[in-house]
Amino acid sequence: MIKIKTWKDIDKLEDYEITYLLYNEGKNIDIISKIRNLEKTQIQQHIIKGKASKKEKKDIGKRKKTLLEKLILLDKEKRIKLLEDLKQKDEIKILEFKKELYKKLKTDKNLDDVIIYIWICGELRDDKFLDIIHEFTLHFHGNIRRMSYSAMRKIKNKNSLEFFYRGLTDKKPQVRQYAARGLMDIGDENSIKKIKNLISNKNEKEYVRNSFFQAIEAIENRLKNKV
């Protein structure tokens, strides 16, 4: 959506936005043409574009928000409640919600919103989102990577093992911590070996080392109980 800005955004204004602001102040095409030193036909095009943008903004404001758009505006507790309500709806509505969520994960550039989208994937426990969540483990933003490992832990799919291993050596300590926690439920003997190789690192954060020990203990106990 194109937003019509104000004069306080003068450094960010596009040509048509400057023209449209002058038009909104009551100046006619002849005057704007002289002020801007542009042809009248170009001024007319700017005004048309400005009007279209204003209408688009108004139409979107009137449009009823989707369930996903509502979720973004809520706090965590209310999001959980709304997701619980979603599970009571018919399969078609759930599928529509998941399709919109997947599309947002692919296209939305707002990092704060993307973090929430990934969190929702984890709450849904749907492994169909894993392909894109795995991609996010390579994201430049540490909190995106951290939330990806959190979601993967909730989904509990063996296909995430290699990504958890990569996370164990991530440059961000919290990501390493979350990767270790994720291995508690799906890790195997190979996972234990990989974690043990990292425990001896004297430069590791204490809370991360504790997560390594906890992960090893959880995996060993789970494997023993399977026997």
Q: Write out the two tokens for 204.
A: 């590791």
Q: 3-state class of 25 per DSSP?
A: coil
Burial of residue 108, with CB atoms counted within 10 A of its CB: 0-12 exposed, 13-18 middle, 19 or more buried: middle
Q: Would you say residue 177 has pLDDT above 70?
A: yes
How confident is the model over 59-109, as pLDDT tens digits? 555 567 888 988 888 888 888 998 988 888 888 889 999 999 999 999 998
Separation of CA 170 from chain center: 19
Average pLDDT over the chain, rounded to an integer: 89
Orientation angle between helical segments 111-124 and 91-107, nearest 10 degrees: 140
Cα radius of gyration (the chain): 25
Q: Using an 8 Å Cβ cutoff, are 50 and 60 in contact?
A: no
Q: What is the pLDDT of residue 3?
A: 47
Q: Would you say residue 9 has pLDDT above 80?
A: no
Percent of the chain with pLDDT over 90: 56
Q: Which domains does the chain have, with CATH numbers?
A: 7-62 (no CATH), 67-226 (1.25.10.10)
Task: Output the pTM of the full model.
Answer: 0.71
